[in-house]
Amino acid sequence: MRIAFTHNLQTTHDEAQAEFDREETVAEITAALRSLGHEVARVDVGGGSAATLVKALEQLAPDLVFNTAEGTHGRFREAFFPGLFEQLALPFTGSDAYVCALTLDKQITKMLLARHGIPTPRWLFVDADTDVGALDVGALRYPVIIKPNFEGSSKGITLDSIVEDPATLRARIDELVRKYPSGLLIEEFIVGRDVVVPFLEAASPATGGVLEPAAYRFDERVIGKRKYAIYDYELKCVSSDAVEVECPAPLAPALRAHLLELSKKVFSVLGVRDLGRIDWRLADDGSVYFLEVNALPSLEPGAGIYLSGALAGLTRTADVLDAVIASAARRHGLVVAASPFARAKKLKVGLTYNLKRVVPKHAGDDDSEAEYDSATTIDALARAIAADGHQVVRLEATRDIVRRLPDAGVDVVFNLAEGIAGRGREAAVPAMLEHLGIPFSGSEAATMAIALDKAAAKAVVAQAGVPTPRALVVSRADQALGALRYPAIVKPNAEGSSKGVSPKSVVEDEAALRRELAEQLARYQQPLLVEEFLPGREFTVGVLGDAHAPRVLPPMEIVFVEPDSKHPVYAFGDKLDWSKKIRYDAPAKVSAGLAAEIERVALGAWRALHCRDVARFDLRCDADGRVCFIEVNTLPGLTPGWSDLCMISEAAGMPYQALISAILAPAIARRAATRGGHGTQHTREDAA
C-alpha cells in the first residue's frame, strides 16, 4: 500500500514544538511501516503552505495517510489536517476532524463526559474575556491546578501550577491568560497518581480496543523534593530520564476492571478511532477521575502504547502501527493485500498440559492423575488464548514431549504441565523450555521444583521471615518424631490438589499419627509432611504479575459449614464435591487489618520463592489469629467456574478471558524484551 506519513517534525526544543515528532521517531515509524511491505513517503506538514501540501498529496496519490500531525496554530490545529484529508477524500488513520477538535478542548470534553457519568474533578474555565474579579474562585476546593485548556505534552504546567489559595490563583490567572489567551482550565487537584489507558481499536477485541493501563514512576531523587507529584513539562519534555512507564500499572483487580470499563465508555462516547490515550488520576482513597484524552497519542519509542500493546501480543513497533492501519483500512473500506498484520499480531502459542484420563469420583478413588487437566479445561484455555488473536498449538506433556517440543515452532508457551514422575516433575517442562530458549508462562524451573516440595518451600519462606507452622518430614512409620505438638496433620510432601488429605489426616496423638503415616507411606511411596495443625480460618490467595510487580487478588475463604470433625481440613474429597461441607467466600469477609496481613504473607512467600506470572497461596490462621503460610501452587487449576483461582478472579471482576491473558502477558513481554522489542516492564517515555 502507498502511504503518506504526515507529521510535524521537531526542529527546536522549545515549548512551541513539544508535541511534534523528533527525527528519531519519524525515522522509526517510517522504517516500521516499510517493514510491513508498504511504500512510504514522509510528508512534513510544517514545511510549507496548505496549498503546497495539497499539491504534494495529489502527486503522491496515497492509498492511505498515516497521520501524526499536531498542527501549529489555534484551537482547531489538531483537526486541521484530518479535515483537509476528509475534503480531499483521502483515507487516513486516527480520529476525524470533529473528534480531534473536541478532544483538544479539555473543558468541552469534560462537560460531555460528565453528562455520561464519567467522574472528573470540578473545574472553572477562564479566557482573555473573563472578568477574573467576578470569578467565584472560592467555590473550588484547594489546592487546584491551573493549565492551558488547548495544549498537550504538559505544556504550561509547572510546579507553580498547583495553587493553594484564591489570592494566588487570581495572580496566576492574570499571568497565564496573557500567554494562553484561548483559555485556562482551573481544576481541583486530586492528590494521588496518574494512570494512562492506551487504545488500539484493532488490537484487543475482547476489550473494545482498550489496552492494559500503565503508570508513571518518578525518580525519587527528583520527585522527592516536590510537595506535589505531578507530571509537569519539566519531567515530560526536559528531565524525561527521571520518568519510567510501568506496564501493567499496579492496580487492584476491581479497580483495574472499573478503569477499563470507564475507558471503554470514554472512547465510545467521544468517537475516538484507531488509537488514543486517556489520562486518569487515581485518588489516594481509590476514586478515579478523568483528566483528558489524546486522540493523537505519542508514538515515541518507549511510549506507553507500545508497552500496553506488547501485553496484547503486539511486540514490535511495526505490530502496533499495523494495528492502526488495520482499523483505518477497515473503516475506509480499503483492501490491504497480503497485510502482515494478522501474522505480526498473532503469536504461535504452545499450550503444554497433562490430560486427565483417570477421573476420581470419591475420596478413596485412584488419585494418581488428580492434578492433570480435563479435556474441557484444555479446550477452555485454548479458546481463551485464541481469543487474543494467537494461534494455539496443543502439546500434551507425554514422555515424547522432549522430541516434539523443539520442533513445534512456537513463539511462547502457556505452561500447565504437571509432569509425570518424581519430585521435580513440575519443573520438567519449564526446564526444557529454558534450555530451548522458549519464553513460557509461570515460574522458572527452580521455583517449580522447590514449590512442589512442601517442606523445602516452607523452609525457604520461613527463612524470609514468613510465619509457617512447625513441621518435619517423615520417611518411615517408625521414625523418631521429636517434640511434636498435637493435633498434627499428615500429607504427602510432594503432591498437590489436596491429595492424601482427609479428615483422618488430622491426628491428636502419636498412636493415630503412626497409623496414618503407615497408610500414606504405603499409598504414595514418598516422604510425608507432618505439620502442627492450625485451628483458625483458611484462605487461598491468587497472585498475578511478573516477578517484580505482583498483583494480589482479594483472598477467598474456605468456610467449613458442615465439618466432619472438630479439626476441619480442605480435603481431597471436598474438591470433588464441595456443595455440602464447604462454602467459598470470594472475596473473603475480612477486616482491613486481616486483609493487609494476608497480602503481606502471600507477597512474602511469592518473593522468597521467586515466583512469577501466577501462583496461589494457601494460608491458615493459628489459634491467635496469626496468618501462616501453608503451601503454594505454582500451577494452580484453571477450570472455568470451578478452580479456586478462577473463582477468585471472577469475584475480583476479572473474567476468565482476562485471567488467562494476564497469566500469559508477562511471558509475551519477556519474549519481546529478548528480541529487542518494546516489551520491557519499566521503560522511559520521552513524551506523552
Domains 2-101 and 111-297 share a fold: no
The whole-number pLDDT of residue 670 equals 85
C-alpha cell at 594: 486481616
The three grid cell numbers given for residue 116, joined into one nine-digit string: 455520561
Give pLDDT tens digits for 400-434. 999 999 999 999 999 999 988 888 889 999 999 99
pLDDT in the model for residue 236: 66
111-297 CATH fold: D-amino Acid Aminotransferase; Chain A, domain 1 (3.30.470)
CA distance 100 to 78: 6
Q: Label residue 130 by pLDDT band (50, 70, 90).
A: confident
Phi, psi for residue 452 in degrees, rounded to 5 = -70, -30
pLDDT, tens digit (0-9, with 9 covering 90-100), for 276-311: 999 999 998 889 999 999 999 999 888 889 989 888
Tell me the CA end-to-end span of the chain in Å, nearest whole number.
Answer: 29
Question: What pLDDT is attached to residue 465?
Answer: 95
Percent of the chain with pLDDT over 70: 89
Q: What is the rounded CA–CA span in Å between residue 87 and residue 274?
A: 20
pLDDT of residue 679: 36
Cis, peptide link before residue 143, omega less than 30° from 0: yes
Q: What is the pLDDT of residue 368?
A: 57
The pLDDT tens digits for 631-661 are 999 999 999 988 999 999 888 877 888 889 8
Q: What is the pLDDT of residue 338?
A: 42
**What pLDDT score was predicted for residue 572?**
47
Mean pLDDT for 468-496 is 83
CA dihedral for 610, 614, 619, 625, sign (positive or negative) = positive
The pLDDT value recorded for residue 681 is 36
Q: Is the pLDDT of residue 342 over 70?
A: no
In this prediction, residue 238 carries a pLDDT of 67
Average pLDDT over residues 166-184: 90
pLDDT, one tens digit per residue, over 550-568 is 888 999 998 888 766 677 7
| Prediction pTM value | 0.55
In sequence order, the β-bridge partners of residue 163 are 144
- Assign domain 2-101 one CATH number from 3.90.1170.50, 3.40.50.80, 3.40.50.20, 3.30.470.10: 3.40.50.20
Query: Strand 528-532 relative to strand 538-545: parallel, antiparallel, unpaired?
Result: unpaired
DSSP state, residue 565: S
Q: Regarding beta strands 288-294 and 275-283, do their DSSP bridges make them parallel or antiparallel, or are they unpaired? A: antiparallel
Average pLDDT, the chain: 85
Tell whether the model's pLDDT for residue 488 goes beyond 80: yes
d(CA 205, CA 651): 23
State the pLDDT at residue 687. Answer: 31
Inter-residue contact 280 to 288 (CB < 8 Å): yes
| pLDDT on residue 588 | 93
Q: Per residue in 56-110, pLDDT tens?
A: 898 889 999 999 999 888 888 899 999 999 999 999 999 999 999 999 999 999 9
Pairing of β 538-545 and β 551-552? antiparallel
Q: So where are the chain's domains?
A: 2-101, 111-297
CA distance 347 to 319: 11
- How is residue 384 written as a grid cell? 481463551
Q: At 292, is the secondary structure helix, strand, or coil?
A: strand
CA distance 498 to 558: 13
CA 46, chain centre distance (Å)? 38
Residue 233 confidence (pLDDT): 63
Q: What is the pLDDT of residue 591?
A: 93
CA nearest neighbour of 276 among 323, 319, 317, 312:
323
User: Mean of the pLDDT values across residues 269-277?
Assistant: 96
